[in-house]
Structure 1
Amino acid sequence: MNVHFVVHESFEAPGAYENWVRERGYEASYSRVYAGETLPRDADNIDLLVVLGGPQDPATTLEQCPHFNAAAECHLISQAINANKAVVGICLGSQLIGEALGAKFGHSPEKEIGKYAISLTAEGKANSKVAHFGDVLEVGHWHNDMPGLTDDAKILAMSEGCPRQIVEYSKLVYGFQCHMELTREVVELLIEASEPELNTLTDRRFVQQPAILRQHDWNEMNQKLFTFLDKLVIEYKAANA
């Protein structure tokens, strides 16, 4: 298995996804676009494409952020989907999946930063890849927006602050608005990059401050993510047997 990561910023690191790759003995490759690394020309050598988050949104232009090319990333995502690869998007990545499939991203009702519960929908409870999350699971959040929905998309989980937390676009393509990849190390990177903004958000219902963010244990969430990814790999191998 080759897992390719599209990384938009140094502080939006793969975290638990990278730990899972290492534990399973898979290969990892990277497009660290913030460092000038290019996207793959195609998805031929990719088994699982993971598109990470970032402070951008799909409408961000090259003039606004020269290292972020939304159209090129959507093209790569489309290539992966059309080639029957597995694709997972996190936060911005989930919104780019929707855009690649013709579904425009939207603004979330609430900004969410911290650890808050998501609830599985009826579709989620019936989905073999996420049913083990349980009816309610506390997960990481760090977002303003949410992915668009295609006609075939299924919302698997929602939160009090955002109605689209996990979206199944197909059996091999998933968007996570929530951040189940967070670890203590990644949270520290995010705090360092965002602390001035956090200081202006003390009145927000779903925004936690650094002292609280540093107290969280992310291990249970990470382990639930690992099981999801293991099940996704099984589905991918069966689809490409």
Structure 2
Amino acid sequence: MADVLILTHIDYCPPAHLAQVLQARGCSFDVLRVDLGELHGYDLERPKAIAVMGGPMSVNDPLPWIADEVAALQRFIERDIPIIGHCLGGQLLAKALGATIRRMPYTEAGWQRMQRRSKATDSPWLAHLPEAFSIFQWHGDTFALPDGAQPLLSSRWCDNQAFAWGDKVLALQGHPEMTEALIELWLDDWAHLLDASQPSQQSIADMRDDLGGKVRALNQVAEGFYAHWLKLAGL
């Protein structure tokens, strides 16, 4: 078993840039498809750091593996090891910490500008970030803040974009892990799910405009999150 465990839920939401960061650092990692039962039998006492990726399903869907994953996350939280959640992964962390997840009346999609929350000024998770930056978004659910959570980020369309819980848990509503190839895949295969008439969604043309530059900036955002997460794990 590897030092880092990455939980995934569909082929379309791989670790992407996170995997590139781990490979560049020489960190060993396992990638499991929780929806296919691959978490069953895995030694939850072994990993030193956990990443939870996204997926199109809702935490509230009646899928049997969701309860199993929430229970595993609760064990990781008890172990006090660093955990970072991306979109669905952030919602799963919120649920594991006792918060509710609800459907929004719209979908937030595309490059969305983040605002720091007033209580986030001293957060080490944000130490690498400028005052203004964007994260790629694609979600219709949002999490409430668990008891004791520190709100970190918001956007125009989603008040709770990120929270920290304790010193080792980071839940993100967005997708800092994206690469150019993964964004193009989503825009090619999921375009029918978008409605550019909704002000909460960018058009595909706007999402693709200067895509290389936007992804390079996003990579820097992601690498700061991942560097702090790995530092906490001693990796």
What is the TM-score normalised by the length of structure 1? 0.88
8 Å CA contact 1:94–1:177 kept in 2: the answer is: yes
Shift of 1:51: 1.0
Distance of aligned partners of 1:235 and 1:34 in 2 relative to their CA distance in 1, 3 Å threshold: closer
Mapping 1:89-104, distance limit 5 Å: 89-104=85-100
Question: What is the percentage of aligned positions where both structures have the same residue?
Answer: 25
Alignment RMSD, CA only?
2.0
Shift of 1:236: 3.2
Counterpart CA distance in 2 for 1:34 and 1:95 is: 16
Q: Counterpart of 1:186 in 2: which secondary structure?
A: helix
Question: What residue in structure 2 maps to residue 220 of structure 1?
Answer: 217
Counterpart CA distance in 1 for 2:42 and 2:23 is: 25
8 Å CA contact 1:108–1:161 kept in 2: the answer is: no
Distance of aligned partners of 1:212 and 1:40 in 2 relative to their CA distance in 1, 3 Å threshold: farther
Matched, 1:204 2:198: yes
8 Å CA contact 1:109–1:161 kept in 2: the answer is: no
8 Å CA contact 2:109–2:136 kept in 1: the answer is: yes
Mapping 1:166-177, distance limit 5 Å: 166-177=162-173
Shift of 1:212: 2.7
Shift of 1:35: 5.2
Counterpart CA distance in 2 for 1:193 and 1:59 is: 24
Counterpart CA distance in 2 for 1:34 and 1:71 is: 11
8 Å CA contact 2:81–2:233 kept in 1: the answer is: yes
Question: What residue in structure 2 maps to residue 186 of structure 1?
Answer: 182
Counterpart CA distance in 1 for 2:68 and 2:189 is: 26
Mapping 1:99-118, distance limit 5 Å: 99-108=95-104, 110-118=106-114
Of residues 71, 77, 92, the one that matches 2:73 is: 77
**Cα displacement string for residues 92-113 of structure 1 (whole angstroms, at most 9, x for unaligned residues):** 1111111111111123464211
Counterpart CA distance in 2 for 1:97 and 1:180 is: 17
Distance of aligned partners of 1:44 and 1:54 in 2 relative to their CA distance in 1, 3 Å threshold: same
Runs of 5+ consecutive residues of structure 1 not aligned to the other structure: 63-67
The one-letter code of the counterpart of 2:97 is L
Question: What residue in structure 1 maps to residue 141 of structure 2?
Answer: 145
Question: What residue in structure 2 maps to residue 165 of structure 1?
Answer: 161
**Cα displacement string for residues 32-68 of structure 1 (whole angstroms, at most 9, x for unaligned residues):** 2455533453422211111111111111113xxxxx6
Shift of 1:181: 0.8
Matched, 1:57 2:58: yes
Counterpart CA distance in 1 for 2:41 and 2:226 is: 22
Counterpart CA distance in 2 for 1:163 and 1:40 is: 37
Shift of 1:170: 1.7
The one-letter code of the counterpart of 1:16 is H
Runs of 5+ consecutive residues of structure 2 not aligned to the other structure: none
8 Å CA contact 2:83–2:229 kept in 1: the answer is: no
What is the TM-score normalised by the length of structure 2? 0.90
Q: Counterpart of 1:218 in 2: which secondary structure?
A: helix
**Cα displacement string for residues 154-211 of structure 1 (whole angstroms, at most 9, x for unaligned residues):** 110000010011110121011000111111111122223311112xx12111212333
Counterpart CA distance in 2 for 1:165 and 1:83 is: 25
Instruction: Pick which of 100-109 and 181-190 moved more.
Output: 100-109
Number of equivalenced pairs: 231
8 Å CA contact 2:87–2:173 kept in 1: the answer is: yes
